[in-house]
Amino acid sequence: MGIDWTALGVIVAAVIGLAGAVTAVIQARQANKAAKAANQASAQAVREAAEANRLADEANQIAKAARGVAERQLRLERDIVQYAWQFETDEMGFPVAITNHGPSTAFQVSIRVTVDERPALDLRQEKVPGFGQVTLDLATARDEHTRKVRDQPWDALSQMYPGINRRIPVTVRFRAWIDCVTADQSPRQQIIDHVARHHENEREIVRLPLKKT
């Protein structure tokens, strides 16, 4: 029985076709893997670029903040302006104003006053020129102090001698916190104190000298 060359040719062709199909499938899979790897690499590159941009932004912000600190420090070193704030009092020793005893203008001035450690005034003023004043309204504190002086018991001499009408002295303490900035925006703060002492003598409120300590 002879070889059927036609059938053999068909078989060979089928094998070759199958081999080609298998090769195509393998190549397609490899291409898909390569494409997937390329996409992953691209996505990673995008993430790394975004992270690099974020780090660059942070570095710029840090550098900007550092420059700001350096500039403020330089202003502070160059700014030699000093203020000498002082209470101004009336004849009874009660503060009526605070004076900027110096030639430099103070800006963004904030003044907080306490009387016997109790809040009495909280003032704001855009600026106070050199040798300028800020008026203090302490009428309420004055009235309270006056009542306290008149409510004191008589002192020892008054109790011994009926002709003497003098009460025990009362001391009142004032303190002010002054915050401001210079023309170059350098902050300044000063705390000032004042003490007054009074008693009632023959129904009059009299200012007394302070005791030496």
Distance, in Å, from the CA atom of 53 to the CA atom of 65, rounded to the nearest integer, reads 18
Model pLDDT, residue 76: 60
Which residue from 185, 177, 193, 191 is spatially nearest to 81, judged by alpha carbons?
185
Q: How many CA atoms lie within 13 A of 74 on its CB side?
A: 6
Distance, in Å, from the CA atom of 200 to the CA atom of 196, rounded to the nearest integer, reads 14
> What pLDDT digit, counting tens, does each position of 114-145 carry?
999 999 999 999 999 999 999 999 999 999 99
Please report, for the chain, how many H helices and E strands are present, in that order. Answer: 3, 8
Q: List, edge to edge, every strand of the sheet that includes 133-135.
A: 85-89, 95-100, 133-135
> What pLDDT digit, counting tens, does each position of 161-198 carry?
777 788 999 999 999 999 999 998 999 999 999 999 99
Model pLDDT, residue 36: 76
> What pLDDT digit, counting tens, does each position of 33-72 carry?
766 776 776 778 778 778 878 888 887 888 788 787 766 6
